[in-house]
């Protein structure tokens, strides 16, 4: 983590997806800020005004202030290029480059399950939430429950995890160290005291405008390989979280309710429309998630062991001396290979997880 990392998303005109695009192009925040205005426009296809903001380091003053703010409040700022960054969160196309965490960030790489639902929960929803988490804690090692610390099912999921003696993570729609809703400040403290964590993508200088809930829901969905909806009406944040999870190719599950119950109309519709797998027990979740087959948690797409490279593949990989992307024309000049042979070697290295193809027929070496 560097000041450049914090400054990147704080630079005017550079949103979440803009930061992702720049990182894919240049490899790191430091390289982005070391680039010239011409490089930013030509290589990353930035608008001239956005490129000038980067060259002028427009976000650095705020980033340095944020750095001090994090130290004062014991908040860990974690960049997407840091080893403690959640591996599943890094896989989505709109991941936040910097997240802010209180508590133990290492649990974010454990076997996580996101649980969401309505704020207007019923005794049935509360009971099912506690029962499922309790039985999962007995069945699944290193389980971590993720939710949004909101009223209703979110709070029930966090409390069920605490009662079962497992860590739980709250994803917040506000900057740390504040908690929303404030009524859950004591619950958040209890979560931290028992090995859990609080997480947000919002820096301490964020102005609250009531639009952070949707962005927060995508992070809840992204942090886990599976999302469970316990109770939901026909609309609301929990259905949006399920939509995000489905879009990220994660497992979506739902607890059914009576056909006449408004609080279960959304979950029943998810099941009816085959957008979620029906869940009646902890065992159903274990089977849906494949946790009965894999003894240890892993990233959603675990890397296979790197195969032995041929002499030509090793030579081609050696052309990538940094993480900066290289065009296929540059690689042709460096290797002298004919186009067909070069394309075959690039494909092999890409399938081996050593290279990534970028727009514009460029390739970037992956860390590994």
Query: pLDDT tens for residues 190-224?
Result: 999 999 999 999 999 887 655 688 899 999 999 99
CA distance 149 to 192: 13
Confidence at residue 299, expressed as pLDDT on a 0 to 100 scale: 45
Q: What is the pLDDT of residues 3-20, one digit of tens each?
A: 999 999 999 989 899 999
Q: How far apart are CA 76 and CA 105, in angstroms?
A: 8
Helices (H), the chain: 3-10, 16-26, 29-34, 37-42, 48-55, 60-72, 123-139, 153-164, 185-193, 212-222, 237-247, 265-272, 282-289, 311-317, 328-335, 339-351
Please report the pLDDT score of residue 307 as a whole number.
Answer: 55
| First-residue to last-residue Cα distance in the chain | 19
Q: Rounded CA gap, 84 and 363, in Å?
A: 26
Split at pLDDT 50, 70, 90, the class of 135 is very high
Whether the predicted pLDDT of 306 surpasses 70: no
Element (DSSP H or E) covering residue 112: strand 111-116
Whole-angstrom distance, CA of residue 36 vs CA of residue 359: 20
pLDDT value, residue 19: 93
pLDDT at site 323: 67
The pLDDT confidence band at residue 300, using thresholds 50, 70 and 90, is: very low
pLDDT at position 254 is 96
Quick one: average pLDDT of 283-298?
Answer: 77
The strand order across the sheet containing 111-116 reads: 76-79, 98-103, 197-200, 168-171, 143-147, 111-116, 226-229, 251-254, 277-278
CATH class of segment(s) 311-365: mainly alpha
Picking from 244, 302, 300, 301, the residue whose alpha carbon sits closest to that of residue 276 is 244
pLDDT of residue 295: 55
Looking at the domain 105-289, which fold is it?
Rossmann fold (3.40.50)
Does the pLDDT value for residue 239 go beyond 70? yes
- Cα 178–Cα 181–Cα 182 angle in degrees, nearest 5: 60
pLDDT digits (tens, 9 = 90+) for 18-45: 999 999 999 999 999 999 999 999 998 9
Confidence of residue 367 (pLDDT cuts 50, 70, 90): low
Query: Would you state the pLDDT for residue 353?
Result: 72
Residues near 298 by Cβ (< 8 Å), separated by ≥ 6?
none
> In this predicted structure, what is the pLDDT of residue 304?
43
Among 105-109, 173-177, 293-297, 300-304, which is the least confidently predicted range?
300-304
Asked if pLDDT for residue 232 goes beyond 80, the answer is yes
Higher per-residue confidence, 179 vs 323:
179
Please answer whether residues 104 and 195 qualify as being in contact, where contact means their C-beta atoms are separated by less than 8 angstroms: yes
Cα–Cα distances in angstroms (integers) from residue 278 to residues 98, 254, 281, in the given order: 35, 5, 9
Confidence (pTM): 0.77
What's the whole-number average pLDDT of the chain?
A: 89
Q: Do domains 3-72 and 311-365 have the same CATH topology?
A: no
The Cα-based distances of 218 to 26, 181, 182, 294, 337 in angstroms read 25, 19, 22, 26, 44
Contact of 61 with 53, CB cutoff 8 Å = no
Cα torsion through 219, 158, 300, 85, rounded to 10: 60
How far apart CA 243 and CA 237 sit, in angstroms, is 10
Sheet strands side by side (includes 355-358) = 326-327, 362-365, 355-358
Binned at pLDDT 50, 70 and 90, residue 293 comes out as: low
Q: Where are the domains of the chain?
A: 3-72, 105-289, 311-365
Give pLDDT tens digits for 73-93: 999 999 999 999 999 999 999
For domain 3-72, give the fold.
DNA polymerase; domain 1 (1.10.150)
Residue 102 — very low, low, confident or very high, per pLDDT cuts 50/70/90?
Answer: very high
């Amino acid at each position: 983590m560097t000041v450049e990392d914090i400054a990147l998303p704080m630079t005017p005109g550079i949103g979440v997806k803009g930061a992702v695009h720049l990182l894919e192009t240049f490899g790191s925040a430091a390289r982005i800020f070391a680039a010239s205005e011409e490089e930013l426009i030509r290589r990353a296809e930035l608008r001239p005004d956005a490129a000038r903001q980067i060259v002028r380091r427009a976000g650095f003053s705020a980033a340095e202030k944020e750095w001090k703010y994090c130290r004062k409040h014991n908040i860990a700022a974690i960049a997407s290029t840091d080893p403690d960054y959640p591996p599943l969160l890094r896989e989505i196309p709109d991941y936040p480059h910097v997240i802010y965490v209180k508590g133990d960030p290492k649990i974010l790489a454990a076997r996580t399950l996101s649980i969401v639902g309505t704020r207007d929960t019923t005794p049935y929803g509360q009971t099912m939430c506690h029962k499922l988490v309790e039985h999962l804690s007995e069945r699944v090692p290193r389980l971590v429950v993720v939710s949004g610390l909101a009223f209703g099912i979110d709070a029930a999921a966090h409390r069920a995890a605490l009662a079962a003696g497992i860590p739980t993570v709250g994803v917040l729609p506000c900057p740390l160290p504040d908690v929303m809703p404030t009524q859950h400040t004591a619950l958040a403290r209890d979560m931290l005291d028992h090995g859990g964590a609080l997480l947000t993508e919002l820096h301490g200088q964020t102005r609250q405008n009531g639009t952070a809930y949707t962005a927060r829901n995508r992070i809840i969905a992204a942090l886990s390989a599976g999302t469970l909806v316990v109770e939901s009406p026909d609309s609301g944040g929990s259905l949006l979280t399920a939509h995000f999870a489905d879009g990220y190719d994660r497992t979506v599950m739902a607890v059914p309710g009576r056909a006449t119950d408004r609080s279960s109309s959304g979950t029943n519709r998810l099941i009816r429309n085959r957008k979620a797998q029906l869940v009646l027990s902890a065992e159903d979740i274990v089977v849906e998630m494949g946790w009965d087959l894999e003894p240890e948690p892993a990233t959603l797409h675990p890397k296979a062991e790197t195969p032995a490279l041929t002499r030509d593949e090793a030579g081609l990989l050696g052309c990538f001396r940094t993480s900066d992307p290289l065009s296929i024309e540059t690689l042709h000049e460096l290797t002298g290979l004919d186009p067909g042979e070069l394309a075959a070697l690039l494909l092999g290295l890409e399938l081996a997880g050593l290279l990534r193809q970028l727009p514009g027929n460029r390739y970037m070496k992956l860390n590994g």
